[in-house]
Structure 1
């Protein structure tokens, strides 16, 4: 059964017109009145729905029963990542959503190849939100991770306040193996771009309370390292 993210209030027996994105999806699938689908709006759980009318530009549905299913991780994981270039950030957002990430914070770092600001940054964030929605629909998630506005690493560290455990993916000799640092509650990871974080940036992160952790002796790509860390936590806290 198709699953669609519908960014509207949903309740049983409501009849509504789908927003343009979900409506196009229904039309592409050539669904007909009487066909059923699953809707979720990120507030938790999901609803069955029945197609009532197929128009040229719009689709009307009736919302059915609510299922309070919860497929989220037991810990909320935020990835603050130095954005990898080209389509690797798309890949990271897609796979992190599938693995259960709570939020993604795109960062510009000293060694970043991808540098975004202004209107270009806003458009990229909207694009990544669409990638996250599609991945949530496909993977069965009932919540869509937040994709935060692009920030420079020092600015984000200066304004970052949370009660979560803070970890820095690092090759520092003092880094603790991630396998020995399993969290008891929510986690924020900081991970660098291609070329990693500079020594000054690692110092800033540690001063902000981020403890260095390592994934092992091998050098992982900028899009692989945060996904490996998230995978480790996802297997522990399903």
Structure 2
């Protein structure tokens, strides 16, 4: 496969691009790319450029762009994942795989039973790290648009934000809201998406699940509860299983 890299800036044909230091290091030191090797660059605005390694030296690596391809690999569904944070490795896994599965927005939250608690400083560092996980996942899976990552919020603050958005008519189209619950008795297959362009919100709780009060707040915000079979899934399994099922039922699988 031709190596793909994210470039955070505008690009035009025949332009010589200087790769960011970390990207250049990965291309030449990890992937062992040489001068003349083919690469693909994308900047998150849609489409991708094919090109080749133009020059490599101690000061950095450059790529010359040769052709633009108006290629999109986005799901027809607009899926936003609202995920309770968990341990570093598990959260990285959820973010990476949810991007591969097609979500276009990720909202990390903390709930009452969340084990992981982040200070403002640690949350900011994790935000930067998660952004890099998203970019790397896009490079790997072929997506040319970068999913949006929102700052960490408490679940109660996020619910308040949803009420405020609805009151101020900020939402262009009312989203279809689903959350996983151990007390739910309806399966995903019993529901139907109103239309392919209906935004979809998927809310996933922490390791210990949502409290009764949090589930009541979810219902009050317009969510409906679903179950994924009779087995209890870990939070990192639940999110990915639900997204895959949603894509299989209504999306591009």
Class of the TM-score when normalised by the shorter of the 2 chains: over 0.9
Picking from 182, 200, 205, the partner of 1:171 is 182
Q: Distance in 2 between matches of 1:182 and 1:126?
A: 36
TM-score, normalised to structure 1, is 0.94
Alignment of 1:33-48 (within 5 A): 33-48=35-50
Secondary structure at the counterpart of residue 60 of structure 1: strand
Asked if structure 2 preserves the Cα contact closer than 8 Å seen for 1:77 and 1:103, the reply is: yes
Q: CA deviation at 1:88?
A: 0.6
Secondary structure at the counterpart of residue 96 of structure 1: helix
Q: Which residue of 2 aligns with 1:217?
A: 230
Mark the runs of 5 or more structure 2 residues left unpaired by the alignment: 166-170
2:54 equivalent to 1:52: yes
Asked if structure 2 preserves the Cα contact closer than 8 Å seen for 1:166 and 1:210, the reply is: yes
Q: CA deviation at 1:164?
A: 1.6
2:182 equivalent to 1:181: no
Mark the runs of 5 or more structure 1 residues left unpaired by the alignment: none
Task: Select between 25-34 and 81-90 the one with higher mean Cα deviation.
Answer: 25-34
Alignment of 1:1-238 (within 5 A): 1-28=2-29, 29-160=31-162, 161=165, 162=171, 163-173=174-184, 175-183=185-193, 184=195, 185-235=198-248, 236-238=250-252
Question: Number of paired residues?
Answer: 237
Task: Select between 180-189 and 89-98 the one with higher mean Cα deviation.
Answer: 180-189
Secondary structure at the counterpart of residue 3 of structure 1: strand
Secondary structure at the counterpart of residue 52 of structure 1: strand
Task: Select between 31-40 and 218-227 the one with higher mean Cα deviation.
Answer: 31-40
